A and B are shown apart, each in its own frame.
Chain A
Amino acid sequence: MAKQLIKGNEAIVKSAILAGCRAFYGYPITPASEIAEAAARYFPSAGGTFVQAESEVAAINMVYGASAAGVRAMTASSGPGISLMQEGISYLAGAELPCVIADITRGGPGLGNIFPEQSDYFQVVKNGGHGCYRTLVLAPHSCQEMAGLTALAFELAHRYRTPVMVMADGFIGQMMEPVEFASTAKLPAPPEWAVTGTAETRRNLASSIQLEADQMEAHVRKLERKYRLAAEEEVRCEHVETNDADLVLVGYGVVARVLKAVVREARAEGLRVGLLRPITLFPFPVLPLRSLAHRARIFLSVEMSTGMMVEDVRLALNGARPVEFFGRCGGNVPATDEVLRVVRELAIREGLRPLLTDVPSLEVCHG
């Protein structure tokens, strides 16, 4: 397929339709609105449904209905709207209904602003709704990944029967890059559990209710097993020059793009810096991080927040190595120079002089 120059937000829509999504319910919000707009343009002609809902609360519940009815369904929003969707996401997780939710993040709290931030991390990655559930979270850092990870999101949603979030910052949503789409479209039949208004599916029920304590616990344990399995099977991350890295940067979304420039420039200065870019935020790349700790002396989490993902980096490393943090927020993206300065300071502090070799390897705690 030909590459086309396309906004990340639009790439999500085309890729979703190619992945068999036929229901889009949304509500406008900057910087995610192009998703609803492109959906309004493309879904009806592809044989799908587009409805602009009266609110994000309604939108996610329409998705719930469509998913219960066996149609691949999605919605998209940004911070304030994602906050409103949390109730529905919890119900979807509880009822084991697959769907895809794109969060094109912006500044907060409150109305905040429309510029890119990564401050939805907690509500998206740590489950912003009630109950013992998780959503799988994919974090694209390019328009190509907006397409690719949206397609993956649908596969995972259906494999695990759970809502999957695609979380990208406003810049990844708003920017244009060349994208090559899948060459064929698919349209899987409704799953056998779906309620489709036929004699064969009449006894099917989509519900999150488990009335008895033991029943509820059994259900929660079943969900927990799914998440464990996902943690084993679905971790995805990108390594950039981590093999010999003394200092490992950790970042996702547009920040990871900046960090790739930082790695290049730091290497040009003779500093052994690498980048670990989580592609799945849940499951978090715990083992890849731990194995880097054998060699790396220090980790630096860089985010557009006051420090959210850094908690997961610290949990993963469990004290094996120091984990530092650098963040900007409000719509400010950490600049290459800014991060380089922090890297240089840390290099001095840790004695990572250029081309320093043979850093003793510590035993990593796997607790």
Chain B
Amino acid sequence: MAELLLDDPVAAGFEIVHERPHSFYPEFFRKGDLKDQTHYCPGCGHGIAHKLVAEAIDELGLQDRTILISPVGCSVFAYYYLDTGNVQAAHGRAPAVATGVKRAHPESIVVSYQGDGDLAAIGMAEILHAANRGENITVFFINNAIYGMTGGQMAPTTLLGQKSTTTPYGRDHYNDGYPVKVCELLATLEAPVYLERVALGNAKQINAALRAIRKALRYQTERAGFSLVEILSPCPTIWKLDPVAAQKRVREVLVPAFPLGVYRDRGAEIPKGETLPPRPLPAPPPPLDAIPGLLDIDEQTPDPPAARPAQADLRIRVAGFGGQGVLMLGEVLAEAGLQLGLEVSWLPSYGPEMRSGTSNCHVRISSQEVDSPLVARPNVLLALNEPSLRKFLPTVEVGGWVLYNHHQLPADIAVPEGIHLLPLACSELADSLGETRAGNIVMLGALLAATDGLPIEAIHRALALCVKSARWLEIDRRALATGQQAAREALSNRSQEVRREIQ
């Protein structure tokens, strides 16, 4: 009979004073047993806070749009109760999860619901940075000054002197630090739009809490940005108090330690009736067929240059000081190989050595599939400085070429039998062009003259692809010609025998 009446209380002649919010499940179908009662202890603040959140969601008409992120803590099962979209997060990570959800669906209303251990201890980094990014989410932060779920250990908000299972002699700031004041802390950041601390100590405080919760959600609907409501909340079980005494403790102990009030309200700083500037929505997505172009993927392969070596097996090591364009020289070579329709690979030395010291790369250009991209026995060594010459000269294969960035070898270095050597002061030649840094491309020109291995047309194409600035492209083209010319002169001064192709 009672049930029948409740089904349609208005028809039954009752005046509705307080209705269960729609966003709160009438029966907790996800719960194992006792589907009509929550798992919270009698008088627990979570139960009250859940209802307030559900009520505010209803009032603002947000039920279908809302996605609740539940934490790890006593409120881990918030999804039993809130009839909204639900995502359960790892301990402390709810603001990061909320970020991922909100960015995926900017029109959804994302609520991160967290306890004090979850938010202010293990999850401090996540909450601080979500707040700092001004994520357009709403955080409800349940501060009960204790770890409820795990049975009463110290929370970051536990008061000085307060006993817990892990502060059996009371919290001592020398050992455990001070209670963390989250609203005050977040108020040091620029981005948050709304930060308020409320309490669940009596009906009046609960009404004020509802107003704050509603306001925080409303800001999200306006895309105003990040808001957080800290809710001082009773935990009668761990506090070992009855529900009434626990509420009294909220009023008389927690509130003095964590003063209630508004810590940030950007809405109050603008004229009444106006709304805060909304955070921009992402631009509408491009049509799918525009995506390859946006990714700089060309549809058509350009025809390879006419002159194309039938056989190629260049195993090149380029080495020098950082800043000499070692990696770029290697890249131009690899790109030229690709332009010729050959198989190529480019493998750099990477990391801190690029910032100073030496740099080197391995380049392979081959008419066969490239197996190892590492060049242990090069047939071309482009040594832009002396340490590189000393290091890699012994590795060069018989019949290979060594180009060295100086007009002669150091006195103590002998060229092994069967190795072709071309010493050429490439950086100095580049200097005369007005850019010492183009020494790498002068050496590339010299390599072309020495080996005839790669057609110049392919190098020109590669330069055009690798060099973004028009000024540099011009310099590099001149450097290439200079290197070719200088190498031809140097080589013609030698016997024709020395000049041999490497393939």
Contact = CB atoms under 8 A, between A and B. Distances in A.
B32 A62 contact: no
B87 A3 contact: no
B371 A46 contact: no
B64 A3 contact: no
A31 B353 CA distance: 13
Contacts, number: 251
Contacts of A329: none
A63 interface: yes
Query: Interface size for chain A: under 10, 10 to 19, 20 to 34, or 35 or more residues?
Result: 35 or more
A243 interface: no
Interface in B473-491: none
A207 interface: yes
Nearest to B465: A5
Contacts of B302: 2
Contact of A195 (B86, B107, B109, B338): B86
Interface stretch (B142-150, B233-241, B342-350, B444-452): B342-350
Contacts of B331: 5, 176
B372 A260 contact: yes
Interface in A64-90: 64-71, 73, 87-88
Given A58-B126, A62-B96, A201 B103 contact: no
B285 interface: yes
A196 B110 CA distance: 10
A100 to B, nearest CB: 14
A171 B347 CA distance: 7
A313 interface: no
A4 B344 CA distance: 11
A264 B30 CA distance: 61
A198 B65 contact: yes
A1 B67 contact: no
A66 B104 contact: yes
Contacts of A366: none
A66 B96 CA distance: 10
B335 interface: yes
Interface stretch (B8-16, B77-85, B246-254): B77-85
B340 to A, nearest CB: 11
B374 to A, nearest CB: 6
Contact of A174 (B284, B298, B348): B348
Nearest to A338: B376
B374 A333 contact: yes
Contact of B32 (A170, A184, A211): A211
Nearest to A55: B125
B470 interface: no
A197 B64 contact: yes
Among A59, A199, A207, the most chain B Cβ lie within 10 Å of the Cβ of: A207
Among A184, A185, A260, A336, the most chain B Cβ lie within 10 Å of the Cβ of: A185
Contact of A31 (B298, B345, B351): B351
Contact of A65 (B30, B66, B101, B125): B101
Nearest to B294: A45
Contacts of A70: 104
A349 interface: no
Contacts of B286: 45-47
Given A1-B298, A177-B345, A202-B83, A197 B67 contact: yes
B72 to A, nearest CB: 9
B288 A187 contact: yes
Given A114-B350, A174-B348, A58 B129 contact: yes
B297 interface: yes
A333 B374 CA distance: 9
Interface string B92-104: 0100111111111
A174 B300 CA distance: 26
A212 B32 contact: yes
Nearest to B302: A2
Contacts of A186: 288
Given A69-B105, A195-B86, A185 B67 contact: no
B180 interface: no
B88 A65 contact: no
Contact of B295 (A18, A44, A187): A18
Contacts of A185: 288-289, 291-292
A17 interface: yes
B307 to A, nearest CB: 20
Contact of A2 (B301, B343, B351): B301
Given A1-B297, A174-B347, A175-B347, A68 B87 contact: yes
Contacts of A62: 96-97, 99-100, 103
A199 B83 CA distance: 11
Contacts of B348: 174-175
A68 B350 contact: no
B227 interface: no
A176 B345 contact: yes
Given A5-B334, A47-B284, A205-B88, A258 B372 contact: yes
Interface of A: 1-5, 14, 17-18, 22-23, 25, 30-31, 42, 44-47, 49, 51, 53-55, 57-59, 61-71, 73, 87-88, 91, 95, 114-115, 170-171, 174-178, 181, 183-187, 195-199, 201-209, 211-212, 254, 257-258, 260-261, 264, 333, 335-337
6 contacts: A18-B295, A45-B286, A58-B96, A61-B93, A171-B347, A199-B64
Given A91-B90, A197-B109, A207-B88, 11 more contacts: A4-B296, A22-B285, A31-B350, A58-B96, A64-B100, A65-B97, A68-B100, A88-B93, A175-B373, A176-B331, A202-B83
Interface of B: 30, 32, 63-67, 69, 76-77, 79, 83-90, 93, 96-105, 107-110, 125-126, 128-129, 133, 282-286, 288-289, 291-292, 294-302, 331, 334-335, 338, 343-348, 350-352, 370-374, 376, 465
A-B pairs, 3 with minimum CB distance: A65-B100, A47-B285, A197-B108
